[in-house]
């Protein structure tokens, strides 16, 4: 009986750990064409994938975005300059505001 429990615990641990191992982490700098006030980015991500966009703005500029998700399961977190996901708290946490 103990062997069965150990096997179940080990298989559960392996299956949950593999999701984060298989997740893709992509970082992309957002560039604007000279004289342009906006840009459009398209792409796909799924599961536990993490896509990070670095946006550089000047004082007074406004960030607007639109994200489409099946089942409303994609969230956007916004960090202050110099702050890093996983280390610092986000200014906006999408999963808590919808």
**pLDDT tens-digit readout, 18-57:** 444 566 787 888 877 888 878 888 878 777 888 888 888 7
When pLDDT is averaged across residues 53-72 and rounded to a whole number, the result is 79
Is it the case that residue 8 has pLDDT exceeding 70? no
CB–CB of 41/53 below 8 Å? yes
pLDDT at 5: 53
Q: Residue 38: CA atoms inside 13 Å, Cβ hemisphere, count?
A: 6
Rg (CA), the chain: 19
Beta bridge partners of 86: none
Task: Answer yes or no: is pLDDT of 4 > 60.
Answer: no
Binning pLDDT at 50, 70 and 90, where does residue 88 land? very high
């Amino acid at each position: 009986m103990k062997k069965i429990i150990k096997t179940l615990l080990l298989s559960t641990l392996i299956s949950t750990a593999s999701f984060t191992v298989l997740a893709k982490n992509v970082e992309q700098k957002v560039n604007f064409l000279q004289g342009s006030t906006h840009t459009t980015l398209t792409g796909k991500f799924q599961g536990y994938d993490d896509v990070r966009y670095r946006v550089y703005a000047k004082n007074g500029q406004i960030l607007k975005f639109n994200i489409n998700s099946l089942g409303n399961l994609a969230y956007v977190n916004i960090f202050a300059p110099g702050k890093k996901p996983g280390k610092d708290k986000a200014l906006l946490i999408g999963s808590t505001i919808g």
